[in-house]
C-alpha cells in the first residue's frame, strides 16, 4: 500500500512539471510580407523661395537686351506724345508759349534727319497772342514755313513778316477749337499705340520665343504698360480741357 502511494505521488509530480514547461512550436520560413515595414522621414519642402511665373525675371541675356531695347523705343514714342499733348494743353488753356511749336520738325535738303525748330530759329511771344519765329539762316525760311504747314497743328497759320521772320497769330480757344485739338491728339495716340505694338512684334520675331514662355509674358506686360501710359496722357488732356465727356 505504501509503495502504491509513492508511485502515484511520483507520477503526479512528473505531470505537473511537464505542464509548467513552455511548449516550443517550430516556425516555418519567414515570408517577405512578414518583415517589419519601416517608414522614411519625409522632409517638407519649403515654397518660400519659389517665384511665381508672373514674377520670374528674364534670364536669357539676349532676351534681356532685346527687352531693354524695346522698352527704350516704346518709352521714346510715349515721351514724344507726352510733349505734344503738353503743347496742346497749353493752347487749349489759352496760354501762348513757344512750346506750342515743339511738335514741329523741319526737314532740310542737305540733312538726313529732321531738325527741331529751336535748332534753326528762335521763337518768341508778342502781345501775348502772337508767336514770332526768327530763322537764323534766310535759306531755311521756306523749309521752316513748309514744316509749320506740314505739322497740321490746328489754327497754326504762318505769315511771313520779313526776310527771316514768320509770325503766327494764335486765336483765343473756343469749345470747338479745344475739341479739334483733343480729337487730333486722339488720332495721334492711335499712331503711338501702333508704334508700340510694332516694336513688340519686331522683338518677338527676332527672339522667336517659345509659347507660354516668361519672355512672351514680360514683353506683353511691357507693351501693356506703355499703352496704359498713352491712355493716361489722353485722359489727362481731356480733363485739362474740360472735355472728359467728349469723344
Cell of 72: 527704350
Could you please report the per-residue DSSP string of 32-99? GGGSPP----PPPPP-TT---GGGPPP--HHHHHHHHHHHHHHHHHHHHHHHHHHHHHHHHTT---GG
Q: In what order do the strands lie in the sheet with 159-162?
A: 121-126, 130-135, 165-169, 159-162
What pLDDT, in 10s, does the model give residues 50-76? 445 445 577 778 888 999 999 999 999
**Which pLDDT belongs to residue 46?**
47
**pLDDT, mean of residues 219-240:** 94
Is the pLDDT confidence value at 201 over 80? yes
Query: DSSP assignment, residue 181?
Result: H
pLDDT at 40: 52
pLDDT at residue 38, rounded to an integer: 52
As a whole number of angstroms, the distance between CA 183 and CA 50 comes to 48
Amino acid at each position: 500500500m505504501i509503495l502504491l502511494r509513492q508511485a502515484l505521488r511520483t507520477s503526479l509530480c512528473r505531470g505537473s512539471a511537464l505542464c509548467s514547461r513552455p511548449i516550443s512550436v517550430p516556425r516555418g520560413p519567414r515570408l517577405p510580407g512578414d518583415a517589419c515595414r519601416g517608414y522614411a522621414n519625409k522632409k517638407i519642402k519649403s515654397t518660400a523661395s519659389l517665384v511665381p511665373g508672373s514674377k520670374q525675371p528674364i534670364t536669357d541675356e539676349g532676351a534681356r537686351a532685346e527687352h531693354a531695347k524695346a522698352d527704350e523705343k516704346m518709352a521714346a514714342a510715349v515721351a514724344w506724345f507726352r510733349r505734344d499733348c503738353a503743347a496742346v494743353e497749353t493752347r487749349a488753356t489759352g496760354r501762348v508759349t513757344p512750346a506750342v511749336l515743339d511738335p514741329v520738325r523741319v526737314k532740310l535738303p542737305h540733312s538726313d534727319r529732321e531738325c527741331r525748330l529751336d535748332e534753326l530759329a528762335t521763337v518768341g511771344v508778342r502781345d501775348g497772342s502772337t508767336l514770332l519765329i526768327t530763322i537764323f539762316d534766310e535759306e531755311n525760311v521756306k523749309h521752316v514755313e513748309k514744316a509749320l504747314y506740314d505739322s497740321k497743328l490746328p489754327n497754326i497759320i504762318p505769315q511771313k513778316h520779313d526776310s527771316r521772320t514768320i509770325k503766327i497769330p494764335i486765336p483765343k480757344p473756343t469749345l470747338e477749337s479745344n475739341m479739334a485739338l483733343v480729337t487730333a491728339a486722339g488720332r495721334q495716340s492711335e499712331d503711338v499705340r501702333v508704334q508700340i505694338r510694332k516694336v513688340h512684334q519686331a522683338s518677338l520675331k527676332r527672339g522667336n520665343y517659345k509659347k507660354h514662355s516668361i519672355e512672351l509674358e514680360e514683353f506683353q506686360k511691357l507693351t501693356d504698360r506703355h499703352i496704359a501710359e498713352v491712355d493716361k496722357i489722353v485722359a489727362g488732356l481731356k480733363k485739362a480741357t474740360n472735355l472728359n465727356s467728349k469723344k
